[in-house]
Chains A and B, each alone.
Chain A
């Protein structure tokens, strides 16, 4: 029996380890990803708190994607309290979430996963070798973080969001300034996309299930009443309560499965189910890549390494989306609408697309306006078991490599998923 152990995997959000046992004949006896952070118990901490404090507390689940944690919890509470959100607020929320996805993807694409394709272990070396690409990646991040800042009042852990909208609304004028930089940023994004278009992705094939919000008339990411998985549509409530199951046997992380099967979320799943709604530049990149590499849909989506390319496509898509949203906001202006919260007992379930996939929040409120129960299912908790299944395909193919090479390949595959361990064990 040979053991393959990687005690600490860096360059992911949070920290994880890998552990496997392989027999002499090359069969995998055990294989698992271990999460190495402590449980902060954010769900338990929310119980008993006033609903107004939820955005502030829930954002601390994750330092890279606080926006989606805030927005989805707010939406679950709005459903519970029967609060309608105005069109202006919805536009701002879409832009807010798009900015989060762009900055998170760009960080992962360039700083976390790209180095694996060149056996680079330190990003400072990556930056020395890829000067132009570094500039482009930083520019795109600066741009999207600026949008996050304008709407949220801060880049990490925004302060302005509240149930029903925002404590302080941005000025439509602020977006005019940002829009001026758009074409330059789009050039940078297209330049960076080329890097990912030309990468040589490892050969890989395994079929899995792909879940995301159900697209109705557009590339859905903020809200939808249903979730699509393998062309099957389920209401968010059904998906949450009947289709998936949380495995509580290996705390602190809850591994989630769909009818006992693993499934995938995030960029690759969204593009699988939404590609017809991609914005033009993003769509062209996606179509050209498949054509150039002579890949059928089946082959493209069977290769998990393409998740990285899908993130590059989404960076373009959400930049184009942001431009449209900002133009609409500038034209319409932003009207202040007072939403009064009428406290009452209730519960709400909401699903939203986080950078890494569908985030589910189930929150209940008691008659005094305090949280009485809380369940938050993050994308990483949902796809963790899917990584393990892919690793079971990878492992037998790399057994003859040196120890260093083996570890490199394992780490690279895990990082393709862009797992967020802080989210997974919140």
Chain B
């Protein structure tokens, strides 16, 4: 056991969809676990955190929303050599971040009249709280990509980040079925691939859950999309996975 890297998976407030993506890999995920010493993964073991050991790689999904989660996140950072965020929530804020755009006080009042004791912080990315060493993007993450990245990380390498757009993996590219050819909002041209264009293959447009590629021609695409469906609609679609903030930073 001595030489195996110590690995942990943590889930902050989220739907845990990324953890389930890992479990859904079945045997292949459990084979990966044979190569490491598992320190924490709350879906399959009971030991409380922290255990007072230095963790080699911590994977984190979700957002710090509940009251102790910011301090938990900082503690994880302290105990980990590498901190890797997984999934759209941790990396970009995710669907819960839509409330920031609505005005979070308004959002919560749709649900509760009495809101005194409910933590309702602005939803932020993990990197707004602690240093992040690597990001595995997506909502949810792509299990195959995770396995590849994890193998690299376990071997002590930082994996390469894919910088080609979703269009490069999309079978509709250059055909009449392309959403752009149908004058519909699709962010495939500026969004990071590595998902095998799973959404567009399923006839759903790309809303950029994996973030922007380097050097993306954001302005050009957004101008085009505004002509298709109007500025308001483009803004609304940029909100879904929190791409709106990345676009703002990019422009």
Contact = CB atoms under 8 A, between A and B. Distances in A.
B5 interface: no
B12, B15, B47, B106, most chain A CB atoms within 10 A: B15
Interface string A91-106: 0000000000001000
A409 to B, nearest CB: 14
B199 interface: yes
A156 B95 contact: no
Interface stretch (A60-68, A210-218, A222-230, A260-268): A60-68
B175 interface: no
B27 interface: yes
A155 interface: yes
Interface string B41-69: 01111111000000000000001111101
Contact of B21 (A11, A45, A156): A156
B15 A60 contact: yes
Contacts of B112: 248, 251
Contacts of A345: none
Given A10-B45, A142-B26, A45 B203 contact: no
A346 interface: no
Interface string B98-139: 110010101111111111011110000000000000000001
A44 B111 contact: yes
Contacts of A62: 15-17
A251 B95 contact: no
A112 B38 CA distance: 17
B202 A160 contact: yes
A8 B27 CA distance: 27
B181 interface: no
A47 interface: yes
Contacts of A13: 16, 43
B18 interface: yes
Interface residues of B, number: 63
B121 to A, nearest CB: 8
Interface residue range, chain A: 35 or more
A122 B44 contact: yes
Interface string B1-33: 000000000011111111111011011001001
A139 B30 CA distance: 13
B236 interface: yes
Nearest to B17: A63
Nearest to B207: A56
A341 interface: no
A38 B15 contact: no
B38 A124 contact: yes
B16 A41 contact: no
B204 interface: yes
Contact of A156 (B17, B96, B201): B17
A84 interface: no
A63 B109 CA distance: 25
A167 interface: yes
Interface in A314-373: 373
Nearest to A376: B111
Given A15-B42, A57-B240, A159 B96 contact: no
Nearest to B121: A38
A287 interface: no
A60 B44 contact: no
A323 B119 CA distance: 46
Given A36-B66, A48-B102, A10 B42 contact: yes
Contacts of A66: 15, 17
A44 B110 contact: yes
Contacts of B63: 38
Contacts of A158: 202
B51 to A, nearest CB: 13
Contacts of A7: 48
A388 interface: no
Interface in A1-56: 7-8, 10-11, 13-15, 36-45, 47-50, 53, 56
Given A38-B119, A124-B45, A63 B18 contact: yes
Contacts of B98: 45, 49, 57
Nearest to A408: B46
Contacts of A155: 21, 24
Contact of A10 (B38, B43, B240): B43
A138 interface: yes
Contacts of A41: 96, 99, 104, 107-108, 110-111, 120
Interface of A: 7-8, 10-11, 13-15, 36-45, 47-50, 53, 56-57, 60-64, 66, 103, 107, 111-112, 121-124, 127, 138, 141-142, 145, 152-160, 167-168, 248, 251-252, 373-374, 411, 422, 426
Interface of B: 11-21, 23-24, 26-27, 30, 33, 38, 42-48, 63-67, 69, 94-96, 98-99, 102, 104, 106-115, 117-120, 139-140, 198-199, 201-204, 207, 236, 240
21 contacts: A7-B48, A11-B44, A11-B46, A38-B67, A41-B96, A41-B99, A45-B98, A45-B102, A47-B110, A60-B17, A62-B15, A66-B17, A123-B45, A124-B30, A138-B27, A157-B140, A159-B203, A159-B204, A248-B114, A251-B115, A426-B15
